[in-house]
Amino acid sequence: MAGDNRSPVTVIGLGLMGTALAGALLSAGHPTTVWNRTPEKADDLVERGARRAASVAEAVAASPLTIVCVSTYEVTHELLDPLGEALAGRVVVNLVSGTPGDARRSAEWAAKLGVPYLDGAIMAVPQLIGTPQGLLFYGGPQELYDAHASVLQVFGGQTTYLGEDFGAPLVYDLALLTMLYGAGYGWVHAQALINSAGIPASAFQPFAQAWTQHVILPGVGDLDHGRAIDQRDYATEVSNINTNRLALSHVIGASEEAGIPVDALTPLRGHLDALVAEGHGLDGFARVWEKLRPAAD
Ligand SMILES: NC(=O)c1ccc[n+]([C@@H]2O[C@H](COP(=O)([O-])OP(=O)(O)OC[C@H]3O[C@@H](n4cnc5c(N)ncnc54)[C@H](OP(=O)(O)O)[C@@H]3O)[C@@H](O)[C@H]2O)c1
């Protein structure tokens, strides 16, 4: 049945995301069994043809493949651990957010129980599930992924297998979120500076949009930057660390004058100071990576 377009699938967890996953399975014609702690969240799915299981054990027994989408790994284990031997041979795909360590520990747990296991990460909002733009990452045994790829691809057209490391999907997920929160925090800090001069946010926003598009996006989103880091070649024709260090000192000075917290920026100032002291002032900003990376040469 694995890989069959009509193979039965179970979904555990019917929050915003789990409901979207189960809905996509139903739309693709999979017999779908669902379980949720709050059972009435299944009502709409049941109307569309899903089967409501009365317990987690019944849900897992209903299909060879179970997708888990609850809030945390702790909840995943609260729900699945009591099943013990009954899980053996049932394929579990965990789409819960957590850390790469959570994923690898869950894979060890699954291996002990004889549960074929994949871990995944969803880089989409529920509205993108089942669309060509939906991006989901998977990690775990290649053979297992291949056997279930046709079902997993139902969730999004950008579904990507990253290799045997169970933690890789969450590494990618959290790296992308790190970029999101860095940019998001930078944006609210910028708006705080704007506010300190009595300027409405909406007056600044067109410039924020153009800056994002023409400066920030090429600055971090270009494929060449990945190659530069891999090759540790930080030559720049755009702006060097000397220039960025001065600019950052002005940002920090202006923020302090305006009473805006600068705690998030002071580590970067420290790294830029150190790089200049070490003679790297003419290199590009990407060299800061050398100060953050934990891996030894
Ligand atoms: N929503 C998104 O845009 C999005 C995007 C990417 C990844 N994700 C990930 O997808 C997972 C689910 O997110 P969501 O948006 O669906 O969250 P949600 O709407 O808050 O739903 C949480 C789900 O977890 C269940 N749950 C929580 N504690 C439980 C417990 N102690 N026992 C049993 N069930 C419990 C809830 O059951 P009840 O309904 O009974 O409360 C519900 O099914 C999370 O790991 C999230 O990070 C979400």
CATH class of 9-165: alpha beta
pLDDT bucket at 296, cuts 50 / 70 / 90: low
Return the ligand 1 atom nearest residue 37 CA: 40
Ligand 1 atom 5: residue of nearest CA: 125
Report the pLDDT averaged over residues 211-226: 91
Sign of the dihedral through C-alpha 169, 175, 181, 184: negative
Rg (CA), the chain: 24
Ligand 1: does its nearest atom lie under 6 Å from the Cβ of 129?
Answer: no
Return the ligand 1 atom nearest residue 18 CA: 16
Ligand 1 centre distance from Cα of residue 41 (Å): 12
Ligand 1 centre distance from Cα of residue 57 (Å): 19
Amino acid 294: pLDDT:
86
Return the ligand 1 atom nearest residue 17 CA: 16
171-292 CATH fold:
N-(1-d-carboxylethyl)-l-norvaline Dehydrogenase; domain 2 (1.10.1040)
Amino acid 270: pLDDT:
98
Ligand 1 atom 30: residue of nearest CA: 75
CB atoms within 10 A of CB 131: 13
Classify burial at 259, counting beta carbons within 10 Å of its beta carbon; exposed 0-12, middle 13-18, buried 19 or more.
Answer: exposed
Give domain limits for the chain: 9-165, 171-292
Amino acid 1: pLDDT:
45
Amino acid 250: pLDDT:
98
Question: What is the C-alpha separation between 184 and 193, in angstroms, rounded?
Answer: 14
Return the ligand 1 atom nearest residue 121 CA: 7
Question: What is the C-alpha separation between 159 and 93, in angstroms, rounded?
Answer: 14
Ligand 1: does its nearest atom lie under 6 Å from the Cβ of 242?
Answer: no
Q: Could you report the per-residue pLDDT of 59-69, keeping only the tens digit for each?
A: 999 999 999 99
Question: What is the C-alpha separation between 10 and 91, in angstroms, rounded?
Answer: 10
- Smallest Cα–Cα separation from 33: which of 46, 57, 51, 47? 51
